[in-house]
Amino acid sequence: MNTPRPLELVCPAGGLPALKAAVDNGADCVYFGFKDATNARNFTGLNFDLPQIREGIAHAHEHGCKVLLALNTYPLASNQADWNAAVDRAAELGVDAVIMADPGLMAYAVRVHPELRLHLSVQGSATSHEAIDFYRERFGIQRVVLPRVLSLAQVRQLAANTPVEIEVFGFGGLCVMVEGRCALSAYATGKSPNCNGACSPDAYVRWEQTPRGMETRLNGILIDRYADGERAGYPTLCKGRFTVNDETYYAIEEPASLNTLELLPELLRAGVTAIKIEGRQRNPAYVAQVTRVWRAALDALAHDGEHFAVQDAWMAELNKISEGQSHTLGAYYRPWK
């Protein structure tokens, strides 16, 4: 019987220090974006200019690490040229793959830069093998990043019915919406995360200390209120506390980090190719810590998958940096199904 190949570890890089932290702590791939709206983490202080990209690519390739560029937002008719130019830059820079969601941009890449390896972004919302194969047949997509709404059984079914490599999220923030279709941030700010590249754009975010506690607002909308000593999270509508029928609670989604360490043997058997760590908006220390833990876990899985067990030390390290200081298996594990 053939032994499944090891899972690739794909780590976030919101800037050059984070990229180096990921590479130096054992990432197989790093993913990053340009300093503009062509990527879905378009925040002030994040992302790369051209000199930083060249230095980052050189550092990664020196250590045998692949570099993936996220061009995963949707251009409009008025700015299509900017996204096309981003594809041109990606080809010139020599990245190992480009992560895309927009079919028109894929068509441009295939026509002008047929040598570019293309991955389908989670923003593409492909949740069936028919959808994945549509992108493979028309644009030569070689890998798909699955949305965080699928159960393990659904992931297994997809992998069994398409030759496209499967990448899944393994750790980091959750998204309550089907990726690529979120309208909550656009409703509050008028800026679509799918076109402008930022969920809760920082220009609309406010923290204010009041007699009732620290209040966080998005374009004037009260998202949450924190007691003294309580860590104030970044204000996104889906993870706010709201009053419903006289009860105040996380009405849409409670902050928690996806953590699939215990599912690694099952994900490998299901045919998954790569595990993705969310967090391009997080600092280099976070990237280093998460990468180090997941590298150790994947190495243990590759060495003796039959006896793989999650170590307490790994969980202790991840507990320190989990959103809301709690973990969940997300949609992968649905006990009611």
pLDDT grade, residue 232 (50/70/90)? confident
**Residues in contact with 280: Cβ distance below 8 Å, sequence separation at least 6, in sequence order:** 12, 13, 14, 18, 31, 32, 33, 41, 46, 47
pLDDT given at position 201: 87
What number is the average pLDDT over the span 139-168? 96
pLDDT given at position 5: 58
Could you read off the pLDDT of 10-50 as tens digits, one per residue?
999 999 999 999 999 999 999 999 999 999 998 888 999 99
Closest by CA to 331, choosing from 177, 207, 148, 153, is 148
Least confident of 133-137, 159-163, 287-291, 331-335: 331-335
pLDDT given at position 1: 38
Q: Please state the pTM of the whole predicted model.
A: 0.92
Closest by CA to 88, choosing from 105, 74, 103, 67, is 105
Closest by CA to 31, choosing from 54, 52, 10, is 10
**Residues in contact with 283: Cβ distance below 8 Å, sequence separation at least 6, in sequence order:** 18
Least confident of 17-31, 57-71, 217-231, 243-257: 243-257
Identity of the residue numbered 281? Q
Domains of the chain, start order: 8-174+256-332 (3.20.20.380), 184-250 (no CATH)
Q: Is the pLDDT of residue 325 over 60?
A: yes
How many of the other CB atoms lie within 10 Å of CB of 99?
26
CA separation for the pair 193, 27 (Å, rounded): 27
Could you read off the pLDDT of 169-216 as tens digits, one per residue?
999 988 776 787 788 888 899 988 888 888 888 899 999 999 999 999
**Direct distance between the N- and C-terminal alpha carbons of the chain, in angstroms, rounded to an integer:** 31
CA separation for the pair 159, 104 (Å, rounded): 26
